[in-house]
Amino acid sequence: MPGWRRGSSLEVLNRLKKEMEEEKRPKFGFFFIDADKPNNLNYFNLAVEMALPKAMICVDNVVRSGRLIDESYAAAFS
């Protein structure tokens, strides 16, 4: 199906980034990241590189009711 990409999230994002670098695709104005939590920082960093100025990047479940700053709680997700 046109527009669909298959593969791991990091592979797909890197392919999209390459398309942007080759000027085959425009940058994005909105990102919603809701994938495997250990790679959230990788997804976020790729989103920043692929974003238009003033783009919105939303990352699901990053606050977790304020418990993310509790190292014992955060360790369960790494």
Among residues 59, 38, 36, 62, the alpha carbon closest in space to that of 47 is found at 59
Residue 52: predicted pLDDT: 97
pTM (2 decimals)? 0.72
* Mean predicted confidence (pLDDT) in 1-12: 79
Q: What is the pLDDT of residues 50-59, one digit of tens each?
A: 999 999 999 8
- Continuous segment of H or E residues that includes residue 58: strand 51-59
Which residues sit opposite 30 in a β-bridge? 56
Q: What is the pLDDT of residues 20-51, one digit of tens each?
A: 999 999 999 999 998 888 898 999 999 999 99
